[in-house]
Amino acid sequence: MGGDFNVVRRPEEKLGACIHRKVMGEFDAFIEDSALVDLPLNGGSFTWSSRREDPSFCRLDRFLVSPEILQNWPDVIQKLFLNKISDHSPIAIRRISWNNGPKPFRWFESWADETGYDQVVEEAVTQSKGKGIGAVLKTCKSHSKIWLQSRSKRNPDSSSILEKMITDLEDLVQNEKATSVQKKN
């Protein structure tokens, strides 16, 4: 079972806000009565932030699993991921030693429109000519990775720019909401 429970289990799971000990105790009792296990959280301590000038932080999101899950997969954890867009940070349940083999290579059609990418493919095809389609694809994959890395070095802040634009838009929407509430009052 997983999600936003909107309550903390321990005082150290909340920072900068008041603690409701009764609700906290009830939630802890629910977990124990249900014989569930709250998995360790790796990657941080808090899954939610108020994002205000004087912020508060809480661990509201979690996965609760049965002991049977831990018998089959004793290395299961909760992984916290960085999130600059929402007030909740995403979490995932995963095995520490999880290995599904090599990551698949993804090709995006938009790359074909990029200047110079056609030359990358031509070079890869020429280099692996006569070795079969598997060799051609493998060479295209390695050449494409090199091309992507060089492209990222030329535009290192592209994701940062998009994240800033999203944050600015969220702030604009919040300010407009605050202004309309003030006008109503």
pLDDT tens digit sequence for 123-174:
999 998 889 888 888 898 899 888 888 876 666 566 667 777 777 787 787 7
Q: How far apart are the first and last CA of the chain?
A: 42
pLDDT at 19 over 90: no
Alpha carbon distances (Å) from 9 to 17, 105, 118: 14, 41, 55
pLDDT at 84 over 80: no
What pLDDT does residue 181 have?
A: 60
What pLDDT does residue 112 have?
A: 85
Check: CB of residue 59 under 8 Å from CB of residue 80. no
Residue 129 CA to residue 162 CA, distance in Å, equals: 40
What pLDDT does residue 50 have?
A: 83
Hunting for tokens 């790359």 — which residue is that? 111
131 C-beta neighbours (distance < 10 Å), count: 11
pLDDT at 63 over 60: yes
pLDDT at 29 over 90: yes
Check: CB of residue 89 under 8 Å from CB of residue 81. yes
79 C-beta neighbours (distance < 10 Å), count: 17
**DSSP secondary structure letter of residue 156:** T
Whole-prediction pTM value? 0.52
The more confidently predicted of residues 98 and 102 is: 102
44 pLDDT band (50/70/90 cuts)?
confident
